[in-house]
Structure 1
Amino acid sequence: MGSVSKKTISRHTTHTEQGSHAFEISGYSLNKGIGVGQYIQSCTFTVGGYDWAIRLYPDGVVEAFRDYVTIYLELVSQDAEVRALYDLSLVKQETGLPVSMWCKSTPREFRSRDSSRFAPQSGGFIPRSTLEMDDIGYVLDDYLTIECAVTVVKEAHLYQTSAEYEIALPPSDLSDHFGKLLLEEEGADVTFSVGGETFAAHKIVLATRSPVFKAELYGQMKERTAQSVTIEDMQPAVFRAFLHFIYTDSLAQMEDLDHDDYSEMIRHLLVAADRYAMDRLKLICQNVLCQYIDVDTVAATLALADQHNCESLKNVCIDYMTTSDEIDAVAATQGYANLKRSCPSVLIDVLEKRSRIQKE
């Protein structure tokens, strides 16, 4: 028989609170030439109960760094002292991915009464010539985005616990087993023909995950007795990714797809999720598409959201269009023209909300 060991525990816990802010500068070049030591500043954002802001000095913070673009995180709260970590990044406009430029991986002290309220403690953030290089892509169409993640170290607590008996448990491997079941096709009892490709699957798994599949495969539909089912209006790659989610409850890895192809795949998966009443996948796709909303895509995304009853995504798109100062650029896109033709009632919602905001 195995023995059971007993241990007593005391625990010192330090809590943190994390947050991030994106500072988007449209018309970046228009701010050059304002002078050394002159800056533009983001809105104040709050993390850990403290107020912060991002400063940008287009012509450098002092004369010695006039050939640099200087960026700071600033503690804005008055009479405050706080320990925090930070990560200042520049966003590549084509991919939307942040590139960390200055970070502090261990907590440092910020004091609002002296220069320690700024981070980093250097004026040489990035040479202007490097920032503006076309092949790097930080500045595109005169647009620059700075992201800053802040982690505030909160109060610490010491806990004393009673005796504890614990047996370590491995993480769930259920999705691994079901993913293997899909790949190896063992026990598969139905095949799907999609765009000239064939996929083997298990009726009971599909029916468990989707009420639509349950009705098709176990109800009164003709697919109940069919060994092969043809799926119309769906690409093979999309159905493959759709099956992967059904079996593993996670999105398939798609590192081979570029920014545009990935977002297009997510759009198709959202349509499939709506078609087969896969509500969790539908929400996941909406969340991903929120990260891809910009001037060029917002109108097309709004039309997609309206057509497939995605209220959360629809609201995000409407908020973007009603608050954007680039609405003329949005109106010039093909997606906007298609939106006017296919979903005119949604445009009324956008225009009415924009009108209300402008009157406030």
Structure 2
Amino acid sequence: MGACKTASTCSPDEAQGMHAFHVLGYSKHRGMGKDPDSFIRSRIFTVGGHDWAIRLYPDGYGKACPDYISVYLELMSNSTKVRASCDLRLVDQCTGSSSSVHKTGPRIFSSSDTTKFAPPHTSFKKRSEIEGSAYLRDDRLTIECIVTVMKKPHVVDTKPFPKIDMPPSDMTADVGRLLEEKEGFDVSFIVGEETIEVHRFVLAMRSPVLKAELYGPMREARPGQSITIKDMQPVVFKALLHFIYTDSLPGDMDLEGGKDTDMVRLLLVAADRYAMERLKLVCQSILCHDLNADTVATTLALADQHNCHKLKDACLEFMKMSDDMDVVVATQGFKDVKATCPSLIVDALEKRRKFRKA
């Protein structure tokens, strides 16, 4: 299952306002001079909780740009800093539309230094581009200033990322119902004195050995015929079928208490017989968990006989580290292994000798 996803969103929080500064009798304001006090200031206007004004120097500010008028946005609030942007525009007196002359991107305006002004230069617009143009009609000039004040970014609360939960697999439940509902059976097995009917395609899907028996050229059962299973108890075959249909062991097996250890051993033999590797590993896992002084020798012999290498190694490791070796040696399982496969006992004792010596 994938990692849990959440999301939060940061969006700018801003306030915007526009102020129009109408300068009537523009020509009569000419000749004021270029010194710092030779300007006209608009009325103060408020945007984003801060006071602003427009400054106009009809003759330009300073001597650097003698042919220009100078226009500034000025932060009027005292002892403050604010992040803002501005767009200074001139209005066409014929159409009423405006065009941008200068834009200042978002930056800090500080009332304590020259950053309270924007733009940072004096060359706003050449007088020759204003006088005789549509910007100046009837000796009237209109300056618009759009101010955008950037407030603290707004971050919404963390929310879980939209998701649709992946449904659990229900395939094994569907296949398992085929066995419960007892419909569509097309092959039967005779186990002991019981006849057990099943679906050949399900068995063939789960076991390569059964697939060869049911569909291969040497198949044992044709329509109407039965297959006889020798050397297996009906209860073991039914447990095998339960695993084939549901991929799980029967729920009535008392695996935790060790009551069905013998049953698990028989299932392991059946799993090996029908090349069902997953069931074989399931049985090995249970038997490994159940290892103790009474069971280890018998389980070791079983693991060796059916090529269960992991389980065999676990048994040898258990015997190597066991503090109850006298109990292990006294079990019938140990005696049986010693008689039938003495090399296993040699291996176990050799491992134990090296472990104790180390």
1:358 to partner: Cα distance: 2.1
Say if 2:211 is the partner of 1:214.
yes
Shift of 1:221: 2.0
Select 2:191's aligned residue among 191, 194, 208.
194
Distance 1:258 1:169, change over 3 A: closer
Residue 225 of structure 1: how far off its partner (Å) = 1.9
Please give the alpha-carbon distance, in whole angstroms, between the structure 1 residues aligned to 2:166 and 2:251: 27
Q: 1:337 aligns with which of 335, 338, 341?
A: 335
Aligned partners of 1:254 and 1:262 also within 8 Å: no
TM normalised by structure 2 equals 0.54
Query: Does the aligned pair in 2 maintain the 1:340–1:347 contact within 8 Å?
Result: yes
Measured after TM superposition, the shift of residue 161 of structure 1 is 8.8
Q: Secondary structure at the match of 1:191?
A: strand
Instruction: Indicate how the Cα distance of structure 1 residues 316 and 257 shifts in structure 2: closer, same or farther if over 3 A, else same.
Output: closer
Map residues 42-57 of structure 1 onto 2, 5 A cutoff.
none
Alignment match, 2:283: 285
Distance 2:244 2:308 in 1: 20
Runs of 5+ consecutive residues of structure 2 not aligned to the other structure: 9-156
Find the structure with the greater CA-based Rg.
Answer: 2
**Counterpart amino acid of residue 293 in structure 1:** L
State the distance in 2 between where 1:247 and 1:358 align. 47
Distance 1:256 1:355 in 2: 36
Change (3 A) 1:267 1:332: same
Alignment counterpart, residue 353 of structure 1, candidates 340, 351, 354: 351
Q: 1:163 to 1:254 in 2, by over 3 A?
A: closer
Q: Which amino acid aligns with 1:216?
A: E
What CA deviation, in whole Å up to 9, does each residue of 1:197-222 have, x standing for no partner? 12111111111110000111111224
Structure 1 pair 220/327, CA: closer, same or farther in 2 (3 Å)? same
- Which of 275, 292, 307 is residue 309 of structure 1 equivalent to? 307
Aligned mates of 2:247, 2:282 — CA distance in 1 = 10
Q: Is the 8 A contact 1:295 1:326 kept in 2?
A: yes
1: CA distance, partners of 2:331 / 2:6? 62
Match of 1:223, SS? Answer: coil
- Give the match's secondary structure for 1:192: strand
What's the CA shift for 1:304? 0.6
Structure 1 residue 319 displacement after superposition: 0.7
Equivalent residue for 2:270? 272
Alignment of 1:66-215 (within 5 A): 164-215=161-212
Question: C-alpha separation between the residues in 2 aligned to 1:332 and 1:276?
Answer: 34
Structure 1 residue 343 displacement after superposition: 1.7
* Structure 1 residues 258 and 284: alpha-carbon distance in aligned structure 2, compared to 1, 3 A threshold: closer
Cα distance in structure 1, aligned partners of 2:255 and 2:171: 27
Q: Deviations over 1:160-219 (max 9, x none)?
A: 999844223432111111111011121111011111112111111111110000111111
Whole-angstrom CA distance in 2 between matches of 1:161 and 1:268: 55
From 259, 262, 267, the counterpart of 2:260: 262
Number of the residue aligned with 2:246: 248
Q: Provide the aligned length of Structure 1 versus Structure 2.
A: 205
CA separation in 2, counterparts of 1:236 and 1:175?
A: 23
Deviation at 1:355, TM superposition (A): 1.6
- Deviations along 1:340-360, whole A, 9 cap, x unmatched? 112211112112111211221
Q: 1:355 to 1:247 in 2, by over 3 A?
A: same
Structure-2 separation of matches of 1:239 and 1:268: 10
SS class of match (1:254): coil
Which amino acid is 1:188 matched to? F
Question: The residue matched to 2:217 in structure 1 has which SS?
Answer: coil
Q: How far off is 1:283 after superposition?
A: 0.4
**Residue identity in the other structure for 2:294:** D
Match of 1:198, SS state, is strand
Q: 1:175, 1:311 → 2: CA distance? A: 29
Q: After superposing the two structures, state which structure 1 stretch, 163-172 or 243-252, moved more.
A: 163-172
Contact 2:258–2:290 (CA under 8 A) maintained in structure 1: no
1:161/1:344 Cα in 2 relative to 1: closer, same or farther (>3 Å)? farther
Structure 1 residues 351 and 191, CA gap change in structure 2 (3 angstroms): same
Gaps of 5+ in 1: 1-7, 12-159
SS in 2 for 1:199: strand
Q: Name the CA distance, whole Å, in 1 between partners of 2:285 and 2:254.
A: 21
Cα 1:163–1:325 shift into 2, 3 Å: closer
